[in-house]
Amino acid sequence: MFHMQVSTLRLLAVTVAVILVATAGCTGNAASGNSTSSAPERTIIDSAGREVTIPTGIDRVVCSSGGTCVRYLVYLDAADRIAAVESGERGDSANRAYVLANPQFADLPVTGSSRGVDINLEQVMLINPQVIFTMGSRVVSNESSTALTAADTMQIKTGIPVITIASGSFQTEESKQQLYASFRLLGEILGKESRAEELIAYTEATLADLDRRTKDIPESEQKTAFIGGLSHGGAHGLLSTQSEYMPFIWNRVKNVAAGSGVQNADFPKEGLVYADPEYIFIDAGTLGVQDEIGAFEDIKSPVYANLQAVKSRNVYATLPYTSRSTNLETQLVDAYFVGKTVYPERFEDIDPRVKADEIYTMFVGKPVFDQLNANCNNLGFEKVPLTER
């Protein structure tokens, strides 16, 4: 009864105010014509420098660019705001922690397929989110051009505010600061400012911890390693690698592919044999390979039999983190496993599986290491069997 009286009084107050404004002939500010007293609007500047007018309170969003967008919303503890997903964000067989931590995604409407197909704008309009997020690795301002951006076009077609968010990464200091700026922008939009700062602080502390453990290792004592089987646009074989593999860089492990310019591409077989690394790590994402020999089989080839890593059985499996772009939390998880494996005396206090679940809990809200590893045939953080089982 009390709530009904309060609501009635509020309604009367609003009605009286409207009548007073109308009879006074007040012209007001037409720019706020679509606002209501319960949901006023505000203007934010997105990562592309675009001014976007959005509701003050936002609880229904969709993403037009798949994995990275949904992942970051999970990081910001805003999975409950997601009103629909692409088909690739559903199911419990994924090797992405943010999907495994959110099985409810399977019950959400679908806005499109996982790869190669634009978001279905008609479906989005039926879902009627308050904003659409679109993301990219490189976002530039359109200030000097009269041409419409893709986000502008989408906004015009749907009548829904479209916000461009830069994806950022850990690859460089500049891209890391871009990542943090995106966390803060999402925090501002979603009312998750404290969560954004918590996430940034934890990430910085984690990177500082990795740096502290290995920063005094002389270059002459740094171990050599190769990472193979890295996924990019799908699963690949042994020679698929990166010349700038962050778990090696953070741990001061010499990447035998460094300086090759190879990034998400194949390293020459002869180059691997010649480099003869002390350790070889294989991304368990290679399990999904279809059009070539998977890395777990290829490493058993006689071609590699004389590699010191193979002879000493220093061949290990890491968890895949390049699925639908970079899963930042698994990148950090793999870094601790690499450090523990190559420099065990520097990581005596670390159990990589325990550390993994600490990181997963911080980023996606649940300790999903066992579930993710089960989807990799429980090969993660284990020695790769070099003989037939």
* Residue 29 within any structural domain of the chain: no
* Residue 16 within any structural domain of the chain: no
Contact of 135 with 65, CB cutoff 8 Å: yes
Q: Which residues contact 82 (CB under 8 A, 6 or more apart)?
A: 61, 62, 63, 70, 73, 105, 108
Question: Is pLDDT at 380 greater than 50 in this prediction?
Answer: yes
Which of 203, 230, 260 delimits the end of a domain? 203
Q: Which of 193-197, 264-268, 341-345 has the lowest mean pLDDT?
A: 264-268
Higher pLDDT among residues 324 and 171, named by residue: 171
CA distance 355 to 337: 9
The pair of structure tokens assigned to 220 is 């002459």
Angle at 77 between CA 203 and CA 102, to 5 degrees: 110
The sign of the dihedral angle between the CA atoms of 276, 281, 282, 283 is negative
Of 170, 118, 201, 218, which Cα lies nearest the Cα of 322?
170
116 shares a domain with 241 = no
Three-state secondary structure call for residue 80: helix
Which of 203, 228, 249 delimits the end of a domain? 203
260 shares a domain with 188 = no
**pTM listed for this prediction:** 0.86
CA distance 150 to 147: 10
Higher pLDDT among residues 38 and 74, named by residue: 74
If pLDDT is split at 50, 70 and 90, which confidence band does 322 have? confident
Model pLDDT, residue 370? 97
* Residue 359 within any structural domain of the chain: yes
Contact of 310 with 336, CB cutoff 8 Å: no
307 shares a domain with 247 = yes
Question: Is pLDDT at 210 greater than 80 in this prediction?
Answer: yes
240 shares a domain with 189 = no
Q: Which backbone phi and psi does 205 adopt, to 5 degrees?
A: -65, -40
269 shares a domain with 227 = yes
CA distance 308 to 127: 57
Question: Is pLDDT at 23 greater than 70 in this prediction?
Answer: no
pLDDT tens digits, 96-108: 999 999 999 999 9
Q: Which residues contact 283 (CB under 8 A, 6 or more apart)?
A: 227, 228, 229, 230, 231, 240, 295, 317, 318, 319, 320, 321, 322
Which of 178, 203, 228 delimits the end of a domain? 203
361 shares a domain with 223 = yes
241 shares a domain with 168 = no
* Residue 30 within any structural domain of the chain: no
* Residue 22 within any structural domain of the chain: no
Contact of 282 with 228, CB cutoff 8 Å: yes
301 shares a domain with 185 = no
pLDDT tens digits, 241-291: 999 999 999 999 999 999 765 566 688 999 999 999 999 999 998 988 877
Domain enclosing residue 134, as ranges: 40-203
If pLDDT is split at 50, 70 and 90, which confidence band does 378 have? very high
Q: Which of 48-57, 120-129, 151-160, 287-296 has the lowest mean pLDDT?
A: 287-296
186 shares a domain with 265 = no
* Residue 115 within any structural domain of the chain: yes
Share of the chain above pLDDT 70, in %: 82
If pLDDT is split at 50, 70 and 90, which confidence band does 5 have? very low
Provide the number of structural domains found in the chain. 2
Question: How high is the mean pLDDT of the chain?
Answer: 85
308 shares a domain with 238 = yes
* Residue 68 within any structural domain of the chain: yes
DSSP H helices, the chain, are 2-23, 67-75, 97-100, 121-127, 150-158, 173-190, 193-214, 246-251, 269-275, 295-298, 308-311, 328-342, 352-364, 369-374
Q: Which of 15-29, 186-200, 296-310, 335-349 has the lowest mean pLDDT?
A: 15-29
217-232 mean pLDDT: 94
The pair of structure tokens assigned to 388 is 């037939």
277 shares a domain with 146 = no
198 shares a domain with 314 = no
The pair of structure tokens assigned to 32 is 């706020």
pLDDT tens digits, 149-192: 889 999 999 999 999 999 999 999 999 999 999 999 999 999 99
Contact of 161 with 132, CB cutoff 8 Å: yes
Q: Chain-centre distance of CA 9, in angstroms?
A: 47
Burial label, 51 (beta-carbon count in 10 A; 0-12, 13-18, 19+): exposed
* Residue 327 within any structural domain of the chain: yes
Angle at 173 between CA 168 and CA 177, to 5 degrees: 50
Q: Chain-centre distance of CA 60, in angstroms?
A: 20
CATH of residue 249: 3.40.50.1980
CA distance 156 to 16: 35
